Amino acid sequence: MTPGSVLFAVCAAICLAGALLVVTAKNPIRGAMGLLTTIVGIAGLFLRLNAQFLAAMQILVYAGAVVILFVFVIMLLGPGAGTDVASPQRPRFSQMVAGAVVTVLGGLGLGLIYYGDEHPFALAPASHGSVAAVGGRIFNQGLVPFELATALLLVAVVGAIAVARGTPSGQRAKAKKQENPTLRMFAGPVNRPGAAGAARENT
Amino acid sequence: MELGLVIEHYVLLATAIFTIGAIGFLMRRNVLVQLMSIELMLNSVNLTLVAFNRRHMAEMNGQMFAFFIIAVAAAEVAVGLAIVLQFYRLRSSVLSDEASSLRH
């Protein structure tokens, strides 16, 4: 067993254990830790594949941002975040059928790959997957997609703030007091309590 | 046997992780766990992309794709978790069964 083989075996075991923990954990915090384990394992596999830059990105973005975001949200929700397995409902028939179909398809794929011919890798040059190589490729040939990705991230951050902020609690309490929420959109401004005064103030 | 120098090892592992993630997405009802399962599937696809890139090394298309997938996944998680927060405020629950306002 060479060190590379040991790295692959350890990382593969870590990935599978983490993935199983994500799916089976009752507590979502444990699921997030399983996700973290899988991500670190995949970063190790990236190293085995001579993709050092992507391994660093994987750790930075996934372990440093995505998992932390998950943990923040789970802690923000408190004990309400874990009411999934604790609920007495059994998985529905459609869920069982979908799970069985996916399991069969995955097993079929595994078998096909396992019994196929092997395709070994060629020897990689030392610069393969380095920061200089990937960065040069991105900024020489992929500059427009890169800039579009930055725009996407900016829009996503603005959208996340806009969605998560919601309405202030006082405003929501006022909205709850109004008698029929479905009729509210059809009602003129005169029917709303306090709206006439607000309109007068605006003019 | 030398592990990790053949593309089949990586594709096998990625298939296993993708299947686990898909089963988790279908069988669990906690929206948070479903989002984590989506992340598992995205990660397994990244692994296959980088592995195939190792076999076709002349152009770095596989690693470029993996890079952009990481960026898009980060954006997706930010928006998805904001929606989960808002959903919890609305229904006091994180079960995806509760998201039934658009039914009928």
**Closest to B77 measured CA to CA, from A39, A146, A157:** A157
Instruction: Indicate whether A28 belongs to any domain.
Output: yes
Confidence of residue A87 (pLDDT cuts 50, 70, 90): low
pLDDT in tens, A41-59: 999 999 999 999 999 999 9
State whether ipTM is beyond 0.90.
Answer: yes
pLDDT in tens, B3-44: 878 888 899 999 999 999 999 998 888 999 999 999 999 999
Which structural domain, as residue segments, surrounds residue B78? 7-92
| Summary mean pLDDT of chain A | 82
How far A177 CA lies from chain B's nearest CA (Å)? 16
Residues 6+ apart with CB under 8 A from A45: A8, A11, A12, A15, B4, B10, B13, B47, B50
**A-B C-beta contacts closer than 8 Å:** 253
Q: Which residues of B touch A131 (CB under 8 A)?
A: none
Contact A131, A53 (CB under 8 A): yes
Instruction: Indicate whether B97 belongs to any domain.
Output: no
Residue A25: give its domain's CATH number.
Answer: 1.20.120.1200
Mean pLDDT of A180-194: 53
DSSP readout, A99-154?
HHHHHHHHHHHHHHHHTS---BPPPPPTTTT-HHHHHHHHHHH-HHHHHHHHHHHH
pLDDT over 90 at A115, yes or no: no
* A167 vs A113, more confident: A113
* Interface contact B63-A53, CB threshold 8 A: yes
Q: Is the alpha carbon torsion for B31, B32, B38, B40 positive or negative? A: negative
pLDDT in tens, A141-157: 889 999 999 999 999 99
DSSP readout, A89-102?
PPPPHHHHHHHHHH
Instruction: Indicate whether A77 belongs to any domain.
Output: yes
Q: What local confidence, expressed as pLDDT, does residue A94 receive? A: 83
A102 to chain B, any CB pair closer than 8 A? The answer is: yes
Q: What local confidence, expressed as pLDDT, does residue A83 receive? A: 66
* Interface contact B4-A99, CB threshold 8 A: no
A84 to chain B, any CB pair closer than 8 A? The answer is: yes
Instruction: Indicate whether B98 belongs to any domain.
Output: no
Q: At what angle do helices B31-55 and A3-24 cross, to 10 degrees?
A: 160
Instruction: Indicate whether A54 belongs to any domain.
Output: yes
Angstrom CA distances, A97 to A23, A59, A91, A133, stand at 17, 36, 10, 46
How far A183 CA lies from chain B's nearest CA (Å)? 17
Instruction: Indicate whether A38 belongs to any domain.
Output: yes
What percent of chain B has pLDDT above 70? 98
* Interface contact A16-B16, CB threshold 8 A: yes
CA distance B20 to B92: 28
Q: What local confidence, expressed as pLDDT, does residue A174 receive? A: 55
What's the whole-model pTM score? Answer: 0.83
Range with the poorest average pLDDT among A61-75, A136-150, A172-186, B61-75? A172-186
CA distance A181 to A170: 17
User: Considering its fold, how many domains does chain B have in total?
Assistant: 1
Instruction: Indicate whether B29 belongs to any domain.
Output: yes
CA distance A139 to A135: 6
Q: What is the CA radius of gyration of chain A?
A: 26
Residue B71: give its domain's CATH number.
Answer: 1.10.287.3510
Contact A121, B10 (CB under 8 A): no
Structure tokens at A135: 């960065």
Range with the poorest average pLDDT among A43-52, B20-29, B77-86, B93-102? B93-102
A16 to chain B, any CB pair closer than 8 A? The answer is: yes
pLDDT over 50 at A77, yes or no: yes
Q: Which residue of B has its CA nearest to A128?
A: B57
What percent of chain A has pLDDT above 90? 43
Pick B50's closest partner by Cβ from A34, A54, A69. A54
Q: What local confidence, expressed as pLDDT, does residue A35 receive? A: 96
Which amino acid does the sequence have at B90? Answer: L
How far A70 CA lies from chain B's nearest CA (Å)? 7
Instruction: Indicate whether A130 belongs to any domain.
Output: no
Q: What local confidence, expressed as pLDDT, does residue A203 receive? A: 45
User: Considering its fold, how many domains does chain A have in total?
Assistant: 1
A40 to chain B, any CB pair closer than 8 A? The answer is: no
Pick B54's closest partner by Cβ from A49, A69, A82. A49
Which structural domain, as residue segments, surrounds residue A17? 1-81
